[in-house]
Structure 1
């Protein structure tokens, strides 16, 4: 058989064919004779090749899945070498028992005469224009207190500035355009935090005055007086403080706050006087007003 081709297996294996190349029989047999073998186990290679291709395809698919999963998990977050914060920093100092806000830059707290630094506080909102009945006696009335009206002074000048009070009536005098003296009486209420004593209430009122719009350029304060007194036989607390300002024709005001226990359990009577530091005439008028202050 010199003609190459597939022939029934000479060993007699049923259904098997062996290739004759013209000189010798092949080592391989098959049940589907076709073209000549090219060496090696052709049928075994054909069976193994699909498995290899499938395995490679599976590796590629798994690689793509992992790649896109990693990209998706990092979407929207920039990659940096910065350390991850271990805690959240609060804008408040929680290390102290009572957290207080930092004073605004326009208010530079300075030591008072007692050596205690002034602090900015949150003042309540009252209604200074809420008025009770007034006797027609020519006096300035408010909060159960009254003082004689001063000729030449303007009624209710800057009354709205006592924004934490009620039933406020006042008189004012223009020292120069943009700066005025002030004398007023009114009421402060325990429900707004002015408690539990006239002393505590007076201290809070003075802080509210110093941090108000009246003294937007406050530079420093100096306590001149803080003492127990009586007004028309009623227990009271009197604070006098110099509030110094900048960018004004006057150095600031000497402010008097007198809180009077008028007998009401829910409120105190209040007197506020603010006159220019060093103005002897205005200070005399203020002193006379305090001397003539009465409980209605």
Structure 2
């Protein structure tokens, strides 16, 4: 999962970027992601101000030249006796040169052969994911488990509570644990709720496919290169019908090849919502994968 910065807008707007602060998406979008998230002065405004200042300076300089020329003519001295300045007055504030705009990098094309959905629904397409409230929470029992969306799993010693919880921006009642694999990349296990009104319907399978698409196109994987489906099957969690997708998401420019992502959507009996489990651990990390497997094995419906 990625660190704060500008990333392609998860809403799917072409050519637009949105700022990810490491916990949530900013309301600000831009087509030039080289600047800061807020308070950035537009180059156009800076250039316009420099032109005004330079124009005023030019008027002052010309006025002084005319004044001294007239004064010299009145004194009987030819104007051509005075040396003409060799430099040209500029309309720009040369003491603060305007930096050239940083070129916007084109998104790295995905090597996926076709845009059609695979068995798990993880097509290489950008979708518009809803905006939820992951920190809208109900009461939690003090039982040493991570609770959310009517699901829970045992808390893991040494992991950080609620690391990257806000990254599940389309969920509700989300609680999670995270582990820093290295600075800028973390493992994630969490549970929460997704709602039918947000498009996570009409079945656990359809909801799980949309969740996986939202995960793959989120700010967690801004340098995504490809995906590989490992599992897409019906299962049961604590006696409740569920759909389980497991996908490898490969990235570039990282110390790890990417994450193995698990999405399990559980029918907890509510007509308007499903329970959700998400796990994201580094591909090939056997220790983290064992902890994820243990969490899935002990996943229960509250």
The TM-score with structure 2 as length reference comes to 0.61
Check 1:81–1:180 CA distance in 2 against 1; reply closer, same or farther (3 A cut): farther
Q: Which runs of 5+ in 1 are unaligned?
A: none
Question: Which is bigger in relative contact order (C-alpha 8 A, separation at least 6)?
Answer: 2
Structure 1 window deviating more from structure 2 (117-126 vs 33-42): it is 33-42
1:1-44, CA deviations, whole angstroms, 9 ceiling, x for partnerless residues? 99999999999999999999999999999999999999999999
How many residues in Structure 1 have an aligned counterpart in Structure 2? 296
Partners of 1:137 and 1:125 lie apart in 2 by 30
* C-alpha spacing 1:259/1:85, structure 2 compared with 1 (3 Å): farther
Moved more, 167-176 or 37-46: 37-46
In 2, Cα distance between the equivalents of 1:120 and 1:7?
Answer: 13
SS at match of 1:199: helix
Give, in angstroms, the shift of residue 118 of structure 1.
Answer: 2.5
Q: Decide which structure has the larger Cα Rg and report it.
A: 1
CA contact (8 A) 1:220 1:244 kept: yes
8 Å contact from structure 1 (residues 123, 208) kept in 2: yes
**Cα distance per residue 1:227-269 (max 9 Å; x no partner):** 0000000000000000000000000000000000000000000
2:204–2:265 Cα contact (<8 Å) kept? yes
Deviations 1:192-235 (A, max 9, x none): 00000000000000000000000000000010000000000000
Task: Determine helix, strand or coil for the equivalent of 2:79.
Answer: coil
Distance, in Å, in 2 between the alignment partners of 1:168 and 1:265 is 19
Task: Give yes or no for contact 1:221–1:244 (8 Å, CA) kept in 2.
Answer: yes
| More off after superposition, 129-138 vs 267-276 | 129-138
Superposed CA deviations along residues 107-160 of structure 1, whole A, max 9, x for unmatched, are 996985789842111000000000001111110000000000000000000000
**3-state SS of the aligned residue for 1:54?**
helix
Question: How far apart in 1 are the matches of 2:287 and 2:51?
Answer: 110
The 10-residue stretch of structure 1 (255-264 or 65-74) with the greater mean CA deviation from structure 2: 65-74
1:145-294, aligned counterparts within 5 Å? 145-294=151-300
Change (3 A) 1:137 1:40: closer
Are the counterparts in 2 of residues 106 and 216 from structure 1 also a CA contact under 8 Å? no
